[in-house]
């Protein structure tokens, strides 16, 4: 990493300290990046003295340097670590290094430039995600600290990737917890309304500014491939289909018929455009997923292969009881539609739902139906969404493939 050590040392001395209580540095030393408000020695360094996004040098209870971070005194996570090398404080140089390291891993794993380039804490860039669509980048900032570095982020991305266009997709509700406004704006060039993403033999049309989150769910790529491997000759149902990513890849793999359900008319319109452009056919049904599953059951519809890929039902710990019940009901409704020997791919992107809880919800639902389930495949998030071993919160996506048969 190129830098001027002398100027870096001066910059580091200028940053105010954030003192931790005695023994509260252990989690940081183990590799985690978060500092909670109750771990800060507020008598020595009051959190109220800092402005949201301000850079600090984190110091142990014995006044030992632990790293550089940014602070937000308004949130439970009061600071997030950006680096541990005292010679490299936060700034453009550090960001350029982080993006180069992240890019090297993606280039090793992916033959084409379509992937998540930066995945927050897992790429040592807490509060920032960047998706790459060829020469177009979509970036999303979720914290005040990264918002304060917005100009440096853009300059670093230009230096490393030289993109034709960059979109700030800063419309996530999590920004409100950080005291930030929500907005979508072009940062560089002319951002197209749609981009094309090749995956699984299908070229998908993906809306950017008007799409969900940062456009495409790259994290499910491996699970979509797993699903498609079982699709030939099957009747397929894709629930919470968005732009038809599971269903249309199943159609390309030779499914006998494909049905997609989503509540968004715009998403289904995009799915229809992708299907037409690729010479594929799919039945597209708009409506609430739970209502549509009940309606299909009432119509005595049956399927051989079903995927349920809902949004997070458990966004916070307090949502857990209600969310767990929703996962169980969803899986039960889906399994009602499976023929006598069918496959269900059950997914969850709720970090607060443990893997054992999702499989248990399926087991409880299948017993309620008087059927028998076998777990025959396990999926996870794609490698462009790496897991930081010290930060379990980066391990969020779960996918389980069940065979469901009639019991006797």
Active site residues: 349
Closest CA relative to residue 293, chosen from 269, 261, 267:
261
CA distance 153 to 138: 12
* Region for residue 84 given its phi and psi (left: phi exceeds 0; alpha: psi -120 to 50; beta: otherwise): alpha
- Do residues 165 and 194 make contact, with C-beta atoms less than 8 angstroms apart? no
Give the containing element (helix H, strand E) for 395.
Answer: none
Tell me whether residue 272 is exposed, middle or buried, using C-beta atoms within 10 angstroms of its C-beta: 0 to 12, 13 to 18, 19 or more: middle
Helices 320-336, 355-368: axis angle to 10 degrees equals 50
End-to-end CA distance of the chain: 64
Cross-strand bridge partners of residue 379 = 399
CA distance 87 to 71: 20
Q: Using CA of residue 367, residue 369, residue 374, residue 377, what is the dihedral sign? A: negative
């Amino acid at each position: 990493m190129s830098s001027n050590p002398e100027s870096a040392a001066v910059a580091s001395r200028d940053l105010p300290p954030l003192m931790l209580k005695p023994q509260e540095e252990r989690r940081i030393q183990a590799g985690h990046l978060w500092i909670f408000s109750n771990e800060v020695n507020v008598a020595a360094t009051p959190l109220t003295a800092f402005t949201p996004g301000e850079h600090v040098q984190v110091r142990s209870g014995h006044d030992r340097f632990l790293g550089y971070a940014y602070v937000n005194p308004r949130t439970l996570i009061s600071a997030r670590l950006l680096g541990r090398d005292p010679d490299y404080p936060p700034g453009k140089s550090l960001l350029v290094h982080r993006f180069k390291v992240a890019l090297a891993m993606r280039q090793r794993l992916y033959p084409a430039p379509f992937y998540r380039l930066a995945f927050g804490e897992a790429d040592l860039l807490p509060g920032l995600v960047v998706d790459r669509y060829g020469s177009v980048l979509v970036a999303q900032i979720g914290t005040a600290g990264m918002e304060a570095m917005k100009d440096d982020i853009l300059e670093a991305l230009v230096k490393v990737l030289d993109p034709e266009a960059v979109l700030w997709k800063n419309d996530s509700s999590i920004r409100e917890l950080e005291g930030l406004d929500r907005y979508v704006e072009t940062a560089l060039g002319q951002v197209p309304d749609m981009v094309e993403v090749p995956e699984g033999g299908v070229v998908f049309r993906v809306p950017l500014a008007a799409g969900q989150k940062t456009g495409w769910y790259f994290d499910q790529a491996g699970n979509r491939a797993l699903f498609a491997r079982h699709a030939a000759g099957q009747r397929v149902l894709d629930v919470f289909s968005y732009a038809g990513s599971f269903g249309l890849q199943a159609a390309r793999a030779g499914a006998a018929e494909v049905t997609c359900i989503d509540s968004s008319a715009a998403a289904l319109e995009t799915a229809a455009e992708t299907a037409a452009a690729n010479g594929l056919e799919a039945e597209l049904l708009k409506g609430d997923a739970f209502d549509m599953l009940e309606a299909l059951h009432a119509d005595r519809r049956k399927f051989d292969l079903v995927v349920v890929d809902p949004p997070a039902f458990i966004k916070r710990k307090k949502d857990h009881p209600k969310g767990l019940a929703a996962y169980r009901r969803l899986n039960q409704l889906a399994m009602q539609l499976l023929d006598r020997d069918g496959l269900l791919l059950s997914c969850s992107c709720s970090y607060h739902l443990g893997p054992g809880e999702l499989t248990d919800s399926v087991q409880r639902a299948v017993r309620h139906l008087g059927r028998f389930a076998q777990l025959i495949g396990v999926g996870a998030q794609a490698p462009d969404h790496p897991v930081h071993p010290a930060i379990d919160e980066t391990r969020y996506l779960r996918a389980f493939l069940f065979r469901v048969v009639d019991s006797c």
